Structure formats: C-alpha cells, structure tokens
Structure 1
Amino acid sequence: MQSDMLVAATESLPEQRPGGGTLLVGYGAVEELTRFAATPGWTVYAPGHPAEVRRIMLTAVRRGQRAYVHVSAESNAEPRCAGDGFERVREGLGGVVLAVGATLDPVLRATTGLDVTVLYTTAVRPFDEIGLRTAALAADRADVVLVEPGLPGTSARHVAETLVHVPHRLLALGGADARDEPALGRAVRDFLG
C-alpha cells in the first residue's frame, strides 16, 4: 500500500525548478530528518498531511530554497495552515506542547482535557523562536513538551536557546514515542502534572 504522503510528494515534484534551489524528499528515515535538522543552511519540513506536502514543495521550489522535506506513512486527518512558524491549535495555561507534522493528531488526543497550549508546525528549521517564546510567556508555567517525528531531542537545543532567559522545563519526545498515544498521554500528564 502506498502512503498518501509519499504519493503527494511524488506528484508535487516539478519538472523544472526555476528558483534554482535544492529539494530533497526523505521517506520515513528519522535519522535523515535529524541529520538535516542539524545541518546549517537547510530549510527542513515535516508536513503532517498530503495537502501540506504539496504546498510546502511548491513553496520551497518557488523560493529557491535548499530544502529537505520529510514525509512519513502517518498523516493527520486534516491539513493545517501552518506556514513557517507555529500555529496555535489549542489554548491553555498549564504549559506548551509543540507538535511537529504528523504528531499533531496523537498530541491532540493525548492532551484532551489538559489545560495546555498546543502549537503546530511543519517547519523544523528555521525554528520559530518568537512563536514559542510568545506561547511560553502567556502560560502560567513555561514548561514545554516537544513532540517531533525525528529522534527525541532533535529541536531541544532550539527550545533551550529560545527560552534561555525564561525559567522552564523541557520534555523531548520523538520517533515511535510520538505516535504511541497512551504513552504520549502519560508522559505529558506526568511531566506537566
């Protein structure tokens, strides 16, 4: 069975790239996502829905970006409008949960009933420092749970640097942990409880 995310990626590849950038697509390799996220000069995306894959790839080509697009077999039920930064999906005061790409639906289900702000993004790099700082400062506690499709801690350094002057705690989850809803719910509740 083909992944809708992979089909969307292959259908979105332009024949010619007028912007002159580099567009690489990776499928399911979290180590590769982590490597590109740590390499300076790359724009790194992890879309959470086939419609987001199409939009991201066309935008990257139009901008002439040096971009890596990570697609996986999982996807969220609905596309979001997140551009290059964090989209506020749910408001709360008890902390901030950052969901990247296809981790959004499991995060929303795992945090049902919790008083937390849920932020969503498809852009792993560049990291939206302003969006995170704004959400963290609006909460009663600046505690952050980072849920990424890559290896745990892929963006932990960026969270720490963004909140360097804000007292906070960080829980970094990734890979299989990001898709295991019961474990994700327990981890978030234990950390923010």
Structure 2
Amino acid sequence: MTAFALRTGTQRSLDQRERFYDLLPELVAADPRVVVLLADIGAGYLDVPPEVADRIVNVGIREQLLVSAAGGLALSGMRPLVHTFAPFLLERPYEQLKLDLGHQGAGAVLVSAGGSYDMPTAGETHSGSRDVPLLDTVAGWTVHVPGNADEAEALIRAVLPGDDRVYVRLGAASNAVAQPVGGGMTVLRRGSRGTVVAVGPTADRTLAAVADLDVTVLYAATVRPFDGATLRATLTEPDVVLVEPYLAGASTRFAADALSGIRHRVLGLGVGTAELRRYGTVADHDAAHGLDVAGIRRSVAGFLGS
C-alpha cells in the first residue's frame, strides 16, 4: 500500500466535517465524474459555485433514494460521493447498500459525519456506533477512520478517482498531529509487553493512557482491509488490545486471523451495545464506554496484568 500525501495548512479547518464541506466544491469542479448526493444533512453548510451546482444534489430526507441514486449514477459512469450522518447512511438504507451497490458491483464513496455520539442530545436516532461492523456483513468495502482533518482530506482526495466502494468515517474528536495514511498501520511507539492498536481519533488518548506501560502502540486510519501484516511483524508478547471509536470488538476477529498459528489474546475496546438514555456530553459517553484516558488505562493495564 502507498501512503497518501497530507496537505496541511494553518488556514484550513481543523474540524473533519467542516474541512469536508470546504473541499466539496473544489473536488466536484476538479473531476467531471464526481457527483455529490446529500439527504439534507450538510446542504445548508455548502457554498456551491454555479458551475458545479448541477452535480451537488440534495434528495431530501430520503436515505434509501440517496443510496439507490448512487448505484444508478455509478452504473452510468459517474463517481458518487454520498454524505449524511452514519445511521442514516448505513443503517436505514442497508438493503440499498447490499443490492444497489454491492450486488450490482457499483462503486461509491460514502462519507459519514457524527462519529458514534458527536450529538448526544439527539439520542439513539443519531448514534453511529454500528457502522463499521454493519459494513463487515457485505463484501468489498474499504473503510477509513481518519484521526484528524488533514488525514480526512488526504484520504478523500485519494479515493475519489477510483471505482470501488469506500467508506470514510468522520467525527468531531481529533488527534493533535496527522499521521501518514493509506499505507497500513503506523508504529507510534515500541514496547515489549504487548501491542495496543489505536484507531483514528483514539490515538492521542491511547498514548496518554499507556504512557507508563511497556507496550507497542500502532495507529490505524484504515481498518478495512485490516493490516494484519504490520500487527504480526511488530508483535512482541502475543497480547493485543484494539481501541476503536465504534462498536467494541469490531476488529477482534481480524486481529485473530492475523495472529493465526500464534497463541494469543485479543481485547476489543469501543462503544458498548447498551443504550445510554441520559444524554450528557461526549465526554460523559467516552467515560461510560471506557474510551476516556482513565478507562483505556484501566482496561489495558488489567488485561496485561500491569
């Protein structure tokens, strides 16, 4: 895999979703194949030049149509870039994802917003923690989980020219420094007592959580395909912890497959399946799911016996 170039700049938004909206008119203007499909979400944030207005289409709150239209446009030779919140993009139109894209062999770039619970006051309707494991039930998807806006921009620019099926998961949480993306996992630090894989925006808090532990930390902005080769090549003790910003355990079977033939243990940290009915804040939800610094520290140390 070849790492994608990062384009950084102090004048560009540090918020992944804002950066995406800033980029859209430029991306559409640069490639006559690209057509953006929206379902109301994001439509009010775009400053659309007249020359590309016919290729930025708001279908309204019709998520099944959103994905079906993407399938039709792809079959006609266009490159659909489809955007809304994760549960409206993947859960509500799941049948269309399975049939109109997957069954027909049609490609599209799906870009979500909202992470798992970026809008906790919106409740369960806007919870996006099931997105990645849901896509695992259908074949042929590449899944990117960028850790900040620079990574998100690099990934979106890189995948648009293709014809494959790609999901880019945007969220409000961000790491302070962008890492190389598109080339598999990156080694953030090395240790001898186990491996912790931090996915996307969990990297900074994971590094803080294991600062006093003798562990290797790997960073993954691309989770499908899962980079089992790097995990295996950098393994010291066969104990692996996965820290993911979506449903807990989503990648444990992929890690287990990568370590086939090696006696190993894998712990998957992430968002639990229980519905949290007190809205609270994002920080409250992080703490409740054990995805804050203290929770990650407690889980990793307990698993490794530190």
Higher relative contact order (Cα pairs below 8 Å, separated by 6+ residues): 1
Aligned to 1:143: 239
- Which amino acid in 1 is paired with 2:133? T
8 Å CA contact 1:91–1:116 kept in 2: the answer is yes
- Which of these residues, 124, 132, 139, is aligned with residue 40 of structure 1? 139
Aligned pairs for 1:7-156 (under 5 A) are 7-13=18-24, 14-15=27-28, 16=31, 17=33, 20=79, 21-27=107-113, 28=115, 29-136=128-235, 139=236, 141-156=237-252
Task: Report if aligned partners of 2:145, 2:200 keep a CA contact under 8 Å in 1.
Answer: yes
SS in 2 for 1:149: strand
SS of aligned partner of 1:8:
helix
Q: Would you say the 8 A contact 2:269–2:291 is kept in 1? A: no
Amino acid at match of 1:68: Y
Q: Structure 1: which amino acid aligns with 2:190?
A: E
> CA offset at residue 3 of structure 1?
7.9
Residues 25-59 of structure 1: CA distance to partner in whole angstroms, max 9, x if unpaired? 11222212331244310100110000000000011
Gaps in structure 1 of 5+ consecutive residues: none
Supply the AA of the counterpart residue of 2:199.
V
Equivalent AA in structure 2 for residue 12 of structure 1? L
Higher alpha-carbon deviation: 2-11 or 141-150: 2-11
Q: 1:94 to 1:153 in 2, by over 3 A?
A: same
1:168 aligns with 2:268: no
Name which of structure 1's ranges 180-189 and 27-36 shifts more when overlaid on structure 2: 27-36
Residue of structure 1 equivalent to 2:282: none
Gaps in structure 2 of 5+ consecutive residues: 1-12, 35-77, 80-106, 116-127, 272-285
Q: CA deviation at 1:178?
A: 5.9
2-structure distance, mates of 1:48, 1:7 = 14
Residue aligning to 2:302: 190
1 CA distance for matches of 2:151 and 2:290? 19
Query: What is the distance in 2 between the residues matched to 1:88 and 1:82?
Result: 12
Does the 8 A contact of 1:37 with 1:44 survive in 2? no
TM-score (norm 1): 0.91
Given that 1:45 and 1:70 are in contact with CA atoms closer than 8 Å, whether structure 2 keeps it comes out as: yes
| Percent identity of equivalent pairs | 38
Q: Which moved more, 1:43-52 or 1:3-12?
A: 3-12
1:1-34: CA deviation from partner (whole Å, max 9, x where unpaired): x981111222333214468441111122221233
Contact in 1 for aligned 2:193/2:215 (Cα 8 Å): yes
Residue pair 1:48, 1:122 contacting (<8 A) in 2 also: yes
Cα distance, 1:124 vs. partner? 1.1
Q: How many residues align?
A: 189
